[in-house]
Amino acid sequence: MSVIEDEYQLSTTFAQRVASLYITHPRLKKIWGMLDSIRKHNKFQGGSNSPRHRFVIGLSGVGKTQMMRRYAELEVNKGHIYIDEEGTEIDIRPVVYVNLPDPFTIMELYQSIIYSLGAPQLPGRPRIGEVKRQVFTILEAQKVEMLILDEMDHILKSRFVKNEEAMSAIKHITNHGSVSVICVGTPEIEELRKFDPQHFRRYPPTRLERFKDCDKDFLELMNSIEEQLLPPNRVGFGFKDSILPSLLHKASYGLVGYLTPIIQETYDLLGVFNDNFNEETDGLNLNFISKLEEAYGNIVGDVAEEEMEKMFN
């Protein structure tokens, strides 16, 4: 843990640490490293070749959206304000996260990018060509290196746009804007890169997997959670001989998207977020397992085991 992280832990309450819990783990950091590599490669070649792109694929609940949002929000990726010779302030944005629209249309694709860039929408009822030119102009002005397009599954559900038209529009952005495009979605979006050999070559896939077993990797993950939370009493999230890791693995199905809210909900049920909660006294008497089953029901609901297995397969 870094000095900055240590200082953060010491300056926050336990309730704040629970509420802001974000689980980073080696699988996630490996994908962040891959994204860093793409940007470094593009910078080194100086635009002499086409930028590199990627599909990032994973089951619903593995943490794709939070992973990509967090990457764009990392201090090194957030950008800065540049003031040109005329005194105009320009918001430099090296990495931009875009949540694709539902229902998906080409016009809404461009509008979503403009919104994510923090730029004003064109007044009235602009034509699609005008909006497209605005996107390309802003991408260049803000020196965008990487565009993360999340919820690519919305393309598959669209009644208005064919898959080929959507991918053609995205390809046009990569060609004209000279930015790397990272397409994020569930395994179903593989269909979007397989119907055309160009897309198949252009967008190699990277997969974010769930933790299928309560093994060494999962125990390391659980230990890192305890380090982030620093609970008043040692819980033993990652204790190999404790029943707690296996209970949390079973409750979350190995999905970070379930694991985080289940832990937060358990502590909520234990009264950690109450105004009168006292870490030094109440915090020492927390029985985490006693509220785990109730928290599981509140977060996961009545999902049958067969439904989850069907999704995983």
Write down which residue in 184, 207, 230 finishes a domain.
Answer: 207
5 vs 121, higher pLDDT:
121
The 10s digit of each residue's pLDDT in 91-109 is 889 999 999 999 999 999 9
Instruction: Identify whether residues 98 and 157 lie together within a single domain.
Output: yes
> Quick check: 134 pLDDT over 90?
yes
What tokens were used for 11?
């300056």
Q: How many domains does the chain have?
A: 2
**Is residue 45, in this structure, part of any structural domain at all?**
no
Instruction: Identify whether residues 64 and 96 lie together within a single domain.
Output: yes
**Is residue 57, in this structure, part of any structural domain at all?**
yes
Instruction: Identify whether residues 189 and 72 lie together within a single domain.
Output: yes
**Is residue 31, in this structure, part of any structural domain at all?**
no
Give me the mean pLDDT over the 196-217 stretch. Answer: 91
Give CA–CA dist 282/232, Å, rounded: 9
Strand-strand pairing, 89-92 and 80-83: antiparallel
**Is residue 270, in this structure, part of any structural domain at all?**
yes
> Quick check: 1 pLDDT over 70?
no
**Is residue 281, in this structure, part of any structural domain at all?**
yes
The least confident of 44-58, 113-127, 179-193, 274-288 is 44-58
Structural domain harbouring 223: 3-22+211-312
Instruction: Identify whether residues 167 and 225 lie together within a single domain.
Output: no
Give me the mean pLDDT over the 108-122 stretch. Answer: 93
Write down which residue in 207, 242, 266 finishes a domain.
Answer: 207
Average pLDDT, the chain: 89
Q: Which residues contact 161 (CB under 8 A, 6 or more apart)?
A: 104, 105, 106, 155
> Quick check: 173 pLDDT over 50?
yes
CATH number (domain holding residue 175) = 3.40.50.300
Q: Which long-range contacts (CB under 8 A, 24 or more apart) does 243-249 make?
A: 243/289, 244/288, 244/289, 245/214, 245/218, 245/219, 246/214, 247/289, 247/292, 248/222, 248/292, 249/211, 249/213, 249/214, 249/218
Beta-bridge mates of residue 57: 185, 207
Q: Cβ atoms within 10 A of the Cβ of 295, count?
A: 21
> Quick check: 52 pLDDT over 50?
yes
Closest CA to 152 of 105, 187, 100, 216: 100
Q: What proportion of the chain, given as a percentage, has pLDDT over 90?
A: 66
Closest CA to 55 of 191, 176, 196: 191
Task: Look up the pTM and report it.
Answer: 0.87
Instruction: Identify whether residues 223 and 284 lie together within a single domain.
Output: yes
**Is residue 95, in this structure, part of any structural domain at all?**
yes
**Is residue 141, in this structure, part of any structural domain at all?**
yes
Query: Residue 4: its pLDDT value, please?
Result: 41
**Is residue 238, in this structure, part of any structural domain at all?**
yes
19 vs 9, higher pLDDT:
19
Query: Residue 44: its pLDDT value, please?
Result: 76
Instruction: Identify whether residues 58 and 194 lie together within a single domain.
Output: yes
Give CA–CA dist 178/182, Å, rounded: 13
CB 186 within 8 A of CB 157: no
Query: Residue 8: its pLDDT value, please?
Result: 46
Instruction: Identify whether residues 118 and 180 lie together within a single domain.
Output: yes
> Quick check: 26 pLDDT over 80?
yes
> Quick check: 32 pLDDT over 60?
yes
Q: Rounded to 5 degrees, what angle do the CA atoms 65, 69, 71 make?
A: 115
Instruction: Identify whether residues 176 and 270 lie together within a single domain.
Output: no
Instruction: Identify whether residues 225 and 203 lie together within a single domain.
Output: no
> Quick check: 177 pLDDT over 80?
no
Instruction: Identify whether residues 64 and 203 lie together within a single domain.
Output: yes
What tokens were used for 303?
């999902």
206 vs 49, higher pLDDT:
206
Give me the mean pLDDT over the 150-166 stretch. Answer: 95
> Quick check: 312 pLDDT over 80?
no
> Quick check: 3 pLDDT over 50?
no
Instruction: Identify whether residues 203 and 71 lie together within a single domain.
Output: yes
The least confident of 9-13, 20-24, 76-80, 256-260 is 9-13
Instruction: Identify whether residues 180 and 225 lie together within a single domain.
Output: no
The 10s digit of each residue's pLDDT in 235-294 is 899 998 899 999 999 999 999 999 999 999 999 999 999 999 998 898 888 999 999 999
Give CA–CA dist 229/34, Å, rounded: 28
**CA distances, 255 to each of 8, 71, 252, 260, 305 (Å):** 27, 19, 5, 9, 14
Write down which residue in 186, 207, 228 finishes a domain.
Answer: 207
